[in-house]
Structure 1
């Protein structure tokens, strides 16, 4: 089984925060009413003084706002919850009737007082239709905003749930740590300590480096490639001590930009796979080659290993470990990676390319 560590945190991919969305909606509404008032005020002052024009616009607008947001916050949400159209229409008609009653009452008291009769049209059928049309227009406008807000918040919740699901899956995948490496290393350390080998100190230092990287750095969404390289070097060194260097090893990083940032622990499963299937006591020639190279647009990771005698009698090395890392690549680098697995009679090769831009 291949080893993984803690998951990289999934970025929220620019999810729209509900509070931020509501603040934007508030300012959108505020701007709309301000522009509406400014336009009407400018239009009215063409044929009447500023004071009666202000009153003539502000009073009906006050009732427009009351009805619009009664519809927005109470009537429409009830329809969306209960899906009862008859109840919705009844509440809507009742709200319009109540608001228009008080609007007519207020206009007959206030407008007649502050606005000369030359500027004030007596409430009749024409005014009724005009006022009703205005009320319906504003309710339609705020209703559209309500549907837009609900849609954005629903999409936000869907994305958040998807993100949580992906994060949980990454948590699971990276938590599939192979305990054998740690147990073997500790067992080897115990043996080296008993025989008072100088290598015991080296094992402790490198194992502490590995554990520090797995516990702390692997929590980050991205890490510098240099850290991943050091982690792989420590892993290779410990495996060399454990296996008493019964294999030829090359790790070439001469053609790579170590400042590139990558998802942590994305390469180590392939190295572990090479040790699992490529090193055998039953053959004299065991070897592993690891190479990292990069271009401005790509990072290429290649691993080759000899195939053990026991493995030659089986199918190509695969199993849960490689499927695990393939799934991690899909989650961490969607449509930004190419993985080639080439099983051959005498060697097993893996090539992974990650897009950088």
Structure 2
């Protein structure tokens, strides 16, 4: 099934609005006009002839004269053709009203000055309304194009920020594989397989606007397994995610900077005990992702460096101010908290 484009839907919406306005306008004129005639049918005929010429005046100016001549910088031709167009329309309406309504109102609907003045003024007003309609339509399309340009710019910036995560992660992982291969570790094949899964994630999932939460969790677990391999003493990691709905859909690669920050700045690879606690919770329409590690390297940047800076930029582009990203450092523990809305 073909999904209609935004421009098509906007065009249909504008047409529905215009149809509704013309309908109310016609009904109002009919209700007013039939009070002035002995036979209501003549009031309906009068309004029908007038409304048809009004519509021709409006759309002739809005859809033909202005786009083809005025906006094409052919202003002299525009004013010439506009005069001829409006003059012809006035004559056609006067003739139609004379043929239909003259027997009922000979004094007014003749080809005289009173009839001409009324027809010219009303059709001229309709003609000018066509210019306002053209301006309104062009303004709406301009706003739409500006919105599309902003969305494209935001999408490009988001993709750039996501792309900045991948090389950094891949360099670390390749270093791990190099170390294992150099030491002829029997787990080298396993690491390559996990890297293959992560590369598949980068290719198939990371470019998407939204991914299943379960896919994102699998990615985090693969990453932690790879990081653990090059550690002499594996960290004691507790990943608590029991109280969440795995079917949630979220933007990709929002949580990895916090996990990456643990292994880059948070664990001490020279000691046997590294405690890491990761909690994933869903509360009141928000997803909470909290990481806490017991051994924080105080020589590193307490705010997590470039990874968390880029993450904050992504969150701002995605959610405005509707998110929380905080870090807290004590003598014994470093905690990072991420909170963002989910549907």
TM over 0.5: yes
CA distance change for structure 1 residues 283 and 185 in 2, over 3 Å: closer, same or farther? Answer: closer
Kindly state the Cα deviation for residue 339 of structure 1 after the two structures are TM-superposed. Answer: 1.0
Kindly state the Cα deviation for residue 218 of structure 1 after the two structures are TM-superposed. Answer: 2.4
Cα separation, 1, equivalents of 2:117 and 2:89: 14
What is the aligned partner in structure 2 of residue 325 from structure 1?
A: 311
CA distance change for structure 1 residues 260 and 65 in 2, over 3 Å: closer, same or farther? Answer: closer
Q: Which runs of 5+ in 2 are unaligned?
A: none
Question: Normalising by the residue count of structure 2, what TM-score does the alignment of the two structures yield?
Answer: 0.80
Alignment of 1:1-357 (within 5 A): 17-33=6-22, 43=33, 47-48=38-39, 50=41, 58-77=48-67, 92-104=82-94, 106-107=95-96, 111-112=98-99, 117-120=103-106, 121-176=109-164, 177=166, 178=168, 179-188=170-179, 190-191=181-182, 194-195=184-185, 197=186, 199-307=187-295, 311-356=297-342
2:232–2:269 Cα contact (<8 Å) kept? no
Kindly state the Cα deviation for residue 49 of structure 1 after the two structures are TM-superposed. Answer: 8.1
Cα separation, 1, equivalents of 2:303 and 2:102: 93
Larger RCO (CA under 8 A, 6+ residues apart): 1
Question: Normalising by the residue count of structure 1, what TM-score does the alignment of the two structures yield?
Answer: 0.78
2:98–2:111 Cα contact (<8 Å) kept? no
Q: Which runs of 5+ in 1 are unaligned?
A: 1-14
**Which piece of structure 1 moves more, 171-180 or 277-286?**
277-286
> Structure 1, residues 167-203: CA drift from partner, whole Å, max 9, x if none?
00001000012132331243256357x45x2x34432
1:290–1:304 Cα contact (<8 Å) kept? yes
CA distance change for structure 1 residues 349 and 30 in 2, over 3 Å: closer, same or farther? Answer: closer
CA distance change for structure 1 residues 53 and 291 in 2, over 3 Å: closer, same or farther? Answer: closer
2:243–2:281 Cα contact (<8 Å) kept? yes
Q: CA RMSD in A?
A: 3.4
CA distance change for structure 1 residues 22 and 186 in 2, over 3 Å: closer, same or farther? Answer: same
Kindly state the Cα deviation for residue 54 of structure 1 after the two structures are TM-superposed. Answer: 7.1
> Structure 1, residues 83-138: CA drift from partner, whole Å, max 9, x if none?
97x9876765454334324544x44xx843x5552345212222122112321332
1:278–1:287 Cα contact (<8 Å) kept? no
Kindly state the Cα deviation for residue 307 of structure 1 after the two structures are TM-superposed. Answer: 4.4
